[in-house]
């Protein structure tokens, strides 16, 4: 997901640079400088077509709003009224000598028309920039939901092992270790999907542990203090399962499996 977002962000950065050129040429045209054409029309179309295709590929929810900035008649479907300062009208206006000579009748009018065009253009730019956040939210849900499905399978495996041989210590410990790994893997996936940095405490520590993961998730508001405390208790059981010197019971492991699965379902 990070690679996809980085590629998308780079493409949007390129389009933003082009947008600044379009805005500069549009302002030049508002001062009745017809030398802004045909470059304004060419670059304006390049920006719009490039940006729109990107939004189409991402199935962007604001595509209709974006199109209405280019052709304002699409915003007023009932009347089909269209503003002569929407993106398409403005960037092509200077291509028509008759209109360009008469439309910009004075500096104040040119400034007014440029301002109206800028409103449409800046809204379209804002919509393009927002696509990254929309994609991140969509991908976040998919990744964390998939992680929960995998964790659920592992919890079920741990539960099945415990049910088959509930009195054998080695089985109880094995079941607990599987449940602990499932829970930890899910929390790490959530942190990665949300781009939460796991900070070591202390910073000089060579390797992160589950305490670092839980603290980082809490600071990023992915879990609350109560959930953090409960998770710490569950991981303590899991750690005991991995160390023969520590005492662990069937009831402890059942709680680790049951409550671990419940918490994984709400921490997404």
Question: What would the mean pLDDT of 40-56 be, rounded to a whole number?
Answer: 94
Per-residue pLDDT tens digits for 88-108:
988 886 545 445 554 555 556
252 vs 82, which has greater pLDDT? 252
Mean model confidence pLDDT for the chain: 84
Secondary structure letter of residue 34 according to DSSP: G
> Would you tell me how many other CB atoms lie within 10 Å of the CB of residue 7?
10
- What percent of the chain shows pLDDT beyond 90? 40
Task: Give pLDDT, residue 80.
Answer: 65
Asked if 144 and 70 touch (Cβ cutoff 8 Å), the reply is no
Question: What would the mean pLDDT of 24-36 be, rounded to a whole number?
Answer: 86
Report the alpha-carbon distance of residue 167 to residue 223 in Å, rounded: 34
Asked if 242 and 181 touch (Cβ cutoff 8 Å), the reply is no
């Amino acid at each position: 997901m990070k690679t996809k977002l980085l590629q998308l962000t780079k493409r949007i950065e390129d389009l933003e640079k082009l947008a600044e050129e379009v805005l500069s040429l549009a302002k030049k045209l508002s001062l009745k400088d017809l030398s802004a054409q045909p470059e304004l029309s060419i670059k304006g179309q390049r920006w719009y077509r490039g940006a729109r295709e990107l939004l189409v590929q991402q199935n962007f929810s604001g595509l209709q709003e974006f199109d209405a900035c280019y052709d304002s008649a699409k915003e007023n479907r009932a009347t089909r009224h269209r503003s002569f300062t929407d993106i398409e009208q403005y960037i092509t206006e200077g291509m028509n000598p008759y209109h360009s000579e008469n439309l910009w009748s004075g500096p104040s009018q040119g400034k007014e028309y440029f301002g109206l065009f800028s409103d449409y253009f800046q809204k379209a730019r804002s919509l393009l920039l927002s696509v990254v956040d929309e994609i991140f939210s969509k991908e976040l849900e998919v990744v964390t939901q998939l992680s929960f499905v995998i964790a659920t399978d592992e919890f079920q495996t741990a539960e099945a092992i415990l049910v088959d041989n509930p009195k054998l210590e080695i089985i109880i410990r094995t079941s607990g270790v599987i449940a602990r790994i499932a829970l930890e893997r899910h929390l790490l996936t959530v942190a990665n999907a949300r781009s939460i940095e796991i900070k070591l405490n202390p910073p000089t520590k060579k390797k992160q542990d589950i305490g670092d993961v839980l603290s980082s998730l809490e600071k990023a508001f992915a879990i609350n203090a109560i959930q953090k405390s409960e998770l710490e208790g569950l991981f303590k059981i899991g750690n005991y399962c991995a160390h023969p010197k520590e005492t662990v019971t069937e009831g402890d492991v059942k709680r680790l499996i049951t409550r671990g699965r419940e918490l994984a379902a709400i921490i997404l």
